[in-house]
Amino acid sequence: GAGVSQSPSNKVTEKGKDVELRCDPISGHTALYWYRQRLGQGLEFLIYFQGNSAPDKSGLPSDRFSAERTGESVSTLTIQRTQQEDSAVYLCASSLYLQGANEQYFGPGTRLTVT
């Protein structure tokens, strides 16, 4: 069946521009997560959604980052006024329920390069 998809797969943008990253979770998955993975480093948790609600936004690196989700479907991560330190792979994952023991299914990621 269809897995988690993300678009675009690669994005090169100039410093100061805004970018929007998209995640399509597995159908029926109520929980959705965003992570950032800098080159050679582990995953940095950004935000999670239960349905279209994001109870904890404290993982977002700055107020330039925002995310929203439409129902239990598509989510977008928006980075305003991009900086070079935003360059990373942005990963999206979904799981059936928002429960610690649930497996997360990851998308292929969006590689963002800010020049």
Size of the residue set binding another protein (CB under 8 A) = 26
Q: How far is CA 91 from CA 8, 108, 112, in A?
A: 12, 7, 11
- For another protein, the closer CB: 32 or 82: 32
State phi, psi for 2 to the nearest 5 degrees: -70, 140
Closest separation in Å from C-beta 16 to another protein: 30
Binds another protein by CB under 8 A, chosen from 19, 21, 23, 31: 31
Using CB under 8 A, which of 1, 14, 41, 71 touches another protein? Answer: 41
What's the CA gap between 44 and 7, in Å, rounded? 19
What residue type is assigned to position 36 of the chain?
R
**Cα(90)–Cα(107) distance, integer angstroms:** 9
The reply on whether position 90 binds another protein by CB under 8 A is: no
Residues in contact with another protein by CB under 8 A are 4, 31, 33, 35, 41-43, 45, 48, 50, 55-56, 59, 91, 93, 98-101, 103-109
